[in-house]
Structure 1
Amino acid sequence: MANLLGVALFALAILISVSLHEAGHMLTAKAFGMKVTRYFVGFGPTLWSFRRGETEYGVKGIPLGGFCKIVGMTPQDDDVDPADEPRAMWRYPVWKRTIVMSAGSITHFALALVALWIMAVSVGLPNPKFPGTEQEFLAEPAVVALAPCVVVENANRACQPGDPASPAAKAQLRDGDRITAVNGKPVNSWGDMLDVVRATNPGTATVDYVRDGVTAAATVDLAAVQRPPLGDPKGATSSVSALGVALRPSTPQLIEYGPVGAFGGTADFTGTMAVQTAHAMQRIPQKVPALWTAITGGERDVDTPISVVGASRLGGEAVANDAWYTFFMLFVSLNFFIGVFNLLPLLPLDGGHIAIAWFERVRSWLYGRIGRADPGRVDYLKLMPITYAVILIGGVFTLLTVTADVVNPITLFPR
């Protein structure tokens, strides 16, 4: 039930984001004097609407986005009333059209920034110094956090009745102890500890550690567990020893800020997310084969793209596991991605319209400099084959991601 509630909440958050995206277009267009005839949430049959001034507002039956109708977006629009010609969008200066067309993405960025600021002052934002790769984790000092049990089989799950207790906990080790040796073999890092423990036979072992600056030793009964080789999580499992501890990183995972400091923290993290979003978009073509593999029965790579369906499922998982931080970070990431993606210079995206507007402006300037007549506006009809190609590619990619999210979804939490 909690999962379904989370799915519904995340889907609602997406719907609100997209509706505000369209509201950004509408409000900026109206502010410049352009005529907006319709603003609707959803698609399909109209469920409810009303008219205020020259604009019809309403809700449609399929809650998968929204739209607003701005009169005369291109010179080729043939549904412009002669009385509205002076207010046609294409007649306005390029900077005004740029603001109107980018307002949707700016709205997504604003939503993400507000959510990040709230997270910064309430629970904190990710610490850039927190280890983010396997190599960085392995290089950390072997400071431990006790596990409540040992899961014998190779499974990512919570403790269950019947699981053996943590050997470290039974030996009276504590959270924050730094392991320095196992059976006399020195341990200088978390990676060293894993190697030494795995190479030690199950059973009695001596563990040297430092607690509050004082060196001590404990006799530990190492457990036998099934694990794949280090660095090869998909490799064949074998019986190795386990101490029943996890790494306690030397830096906190989250940094909390005050109301003023949160602005700087939000700005820093936004820069990090911008770089990550750009890299993720560059990798999209490379991930198509992995999506097909997931659809046809292979393992789903957690780094493959997801659709709105997949994002909503992850949001549902987050709520079901009380991981609200993950829920809101998904919301932030999705808004950043949509905002950036929508600015790509491809029709029918907003970025495509912006690119054409500035192409016209630069071309007119260049022609004027060389004394030639202004060639006029770009004929959008000639660009329709490219537009249809973009729509087709986008449709196929969407179908792939939705199918993968239905038949082989990504999961963030053990089941």
Structure 2
Amino acid sequence: MTTLMMILGIVVFAIGLLFSIAWHELGHLSTAKLFGIRVPQYMVGFGPTIWSRKKGETEYGVKAIPLGGYIRMIGMFPPGPDGRLEARSTSPWRGMVEDARAQSFEELQPGDENRLFYTRKPWKRVIVMFAGPFMNLILAVVIFMGVMMTFGIQTQTTTVGKVSDCVIQQSENRTKCAKGDQAAPAKAAGLKLGDKIVAFNGEPVKDWSALQNDIRANPGKDVTLTVERGGERLDLNTQLIRNQVSKSDGNGGYVEGEYVYAGFLGFTPASGIVQQSFGQSVDRMGDMMENGVESLISLPSKVPALWDAAFGDGPREDDSPMGVVGAARVGGEVLTLDIPPENQIAMMLFLVAGFNLSLFLFNMLPLLPLDGGHIAGALWESLRRNVAKVFRRPDPGPFDVAKLMPVAYVVAGIFICFTLLVLVADVVNPVRIS
């Protein structure tokens, strides 16, 4: 049964992956057609074609390898300086440029002269290339916020999960009290397991993050905690102690290995599934975006640990980069967990949403062959033309993105190597959930 559920989870994630890719390419397709660009192909996947059907002027299909997708637009790159495709060069770098230019015109038909991608104004090309990643962003936001506002997310609450017996500095890394340790304020106040703190000094408590900030901001002060216990409300009085605690990340969590001195009460909050308001969901979505950007920036620094995890004896870190195979494996594990079905559905939706958020951020990198590279080229062209207009210089014409194809091949080669490294790590030393 476990194996069957594992396979089912992988299949469900694969369907979500294919939909995400198709949704991405739909953004490119719809805006390209909106601006009159001819699109001969719309494909989900790479490699051999499994199924295709031509409707109008576009062939729609699915290919064997679900690791991406594409639409083929006519005239992605401008012709050479003489207005035609240039003659074949013996230079390998020049050959890359000419190959890319020739490929963008290989399906040119009579009447396509005014339907070429490069002839569209830069702002239209930016919209066409941005539309794909933007579709992934929309899907990620809708799923994340939908799950948070309807089902909720696992979060720390203001309910007491554990009461500390004594005051211990966080950096001491011990849990047992020693002789001479002072009693924790929570213990002295009579706080008990299961108590829900609803007010701090008479002010209603919104969530754990707010309560944590209130506690830390009042070292050495007498405070009153209002708790719900057995259907009744009780006021508990105590004096907070200044103690060394883990640095807060500002959202109720902690920064590992960093400590500060602040007010200390001495209890561990219980965790539970809590529905989020619209405002809370927006805040958490912003945090996810920020964390995603930080993860993308720190990606190169994680390569050595990833290599050690794949080919050495190193552990696979929880925040280690994970590819499609690893994500599919996690999707399979989700359905084998001994948790309620609604939790499994929420986790699976979060996994698909996270994949879409990653697609958006990754594709916005200003590097060819990514969408962000074409966006950067269009913006640069617009800047050149506007500067020339201001200084009354001749129009420099379209920016020849094809000249950057050697760089694009280098970038693609790096991405392929990184993808293979992640693939090996996902197979031999995968990220696991619990």
What runs of 5+ residues in structure 1 fail to find an aligned partner?
132-139, 146-177, 182-186, 201-206, 216-230, 234-246
* 1:78 pairs with one of 105, 111, 125: 105
Q: Distance in 2 between matches of 1:267 and 1:192?
A: 34
What residue number does 1:274 align with?
Answer: 289
In structure 2, the CA distance between the partners of 1:362 and 1:196, relative to structure 1 (3 Å rule), is closer
How many Å separate the matches in 2 of 1:333 and 1:288? 21
Do structure 1's residue 28 and structure 2's residue 49 form an aligned pair? no
Does the C-alpha gap of structure 1 residues 29 and 193 become closer, same or farther in structure 2, counting only changes over 3 Å?
same
Pick the aligned partner of 2:68 from 41, 65, 72. Answer: 65
Q: Provide structure 2 residue ranges, at least 5 long, that are not aligned to the other structure.
A: 79-100, 180-186, 193-228, 237-254, 258-266
Alignment match of 1:256 (pick from 262, 270, 275): 275
1:189 Cα deviation after fit: 7.5
Instruction: Count how many residue pairs are aligned between Structure 1 and Structure 2.
Output: 325
Q: Report the Cα offset of residue 198 of structure 1.
A: 6.5
CA contact (8 A) 2:145 2:285 kept: no
- Matches of 2:314 and 2:139 in 1, distance apart? 36
Q: Is the 8 A contact 1:40 1:60 kept in 2?
A: yes
Q: What residue number does 1:112 align with?
A: 140
Which one of the candidate residues 347, 364, 369 is aligned to 2:390? 369
How far apart in 1 are the matches of 2:396 and 2:235?
82
**In structure 1, the residue corresponding to 2:335 is in which secondary structure?**
helix
What do you get for the CA RMSD once the two structures are aligned? 3.0
Match of residue 374 from structure 2: 353
- CA offsets per residue over residues 280-326 of structure 1, 9 Å max, x none? 01110100000111012221122221111111111211221145233
The counterpart of 1:91, out of the listed 119, 125, 133, is: 119
1:58 to partner: Cα distance: 1.9
In structure 2, how many angstroms separate the alpha carbons of the residues matched to 1:302 and 1:192?
23
2:272 and 2:410 mapped to 1: Cα distance? 44
Identity of aligned residues (%): 38
CA distance in 1, matches of 2:191, 2:401: 71
Partner residue, 2:152? 124
Change (3 A) 1:30 1:266: farther
1:253/1:356 CA distance change after superposition, 3 Å:
farther
Deviation at 1:194, TM superposition (A): 8.1
Match among 168, 171, 176 for residue 197 of structure 1? 176
Aligned mates of 1:265, 1:210 — CA distance in 2: 28
The answer to whether the 8 A contact 2:144-2:353 is kept is yes
TM-score in terms of structure 2 length: 0.68
- Aligned-partner Cα distance in 2 for 1:330–1:198: 41
| C-alpha distance 302-357 of structure 1, shift in aligned 2 (>3 A) | same
Q: Measure, in 1, the Cα distance between the counterparts of 2:381 and 2:397.
A: 7
Deviates more, 1:376-385 or 1:347-356: 376-385
Equivalent of 1:46 in 42, 46, 49: 49
Is 40-49 or 81-90 further displaced after alignment? 40-49
Q: Choose which of 377, 382, 386 in structure 1 pairs with 2:407.
A: 386
* 1:312 equivalent in alignment to 2:339: no
Structure 1 pair 383/210, CA: closer, same or farther in 2 (3 Å)? closer
Q: Distance in 2 between matches of 1:232 and 1:91?
A: 53
Q: Deviations over 1:216-239 (max 9, x none)?
A: xxxxxxxxxxxxxxx999xxxxxx
Following TM superposition, by how much is the alpha carbon of 1:105 offset from its aligned partner in structure 2, in angstroms?
0.7
Superposed displacement of residue 197, structure 1 = 2.5
What is the letter of the counterpart of residue 270 of structure 1?
A: M
- Provide closer, same or farther for how the CA distance between residues 319 and 367 of structure 1 changes in structure 2, counting only shifts above 3 A: same
Render the CA deviation track for 1:318-362: whole Å, top value 9, x for unaligned. Answer: 221145233222222221111011011100000000100110110
> Matches of 2:34 and 2:175 in 1, distance apart?
68
Q: What is aligned with 1:333?
A: 354
**Residue 284 (structure 1) aligned to one of 285, 299, 324:** 299
Scaled by the length of structure 1, the TM-score of the pair is 0.71
| Alignment check: 8 A CA contact 2:168 2:177 kept | no
Return closer, same or farther for 1:199/1:398 CA change in 2, 3 Å cut-off. farther
Q: Structure 1 residues 309 and 190, CA, compared in 2 at 3 Å: closer, same or farther?
A: farther
1:158 match? none
| Secondary structure, counterpart of 1:56 in structure 2 | strand
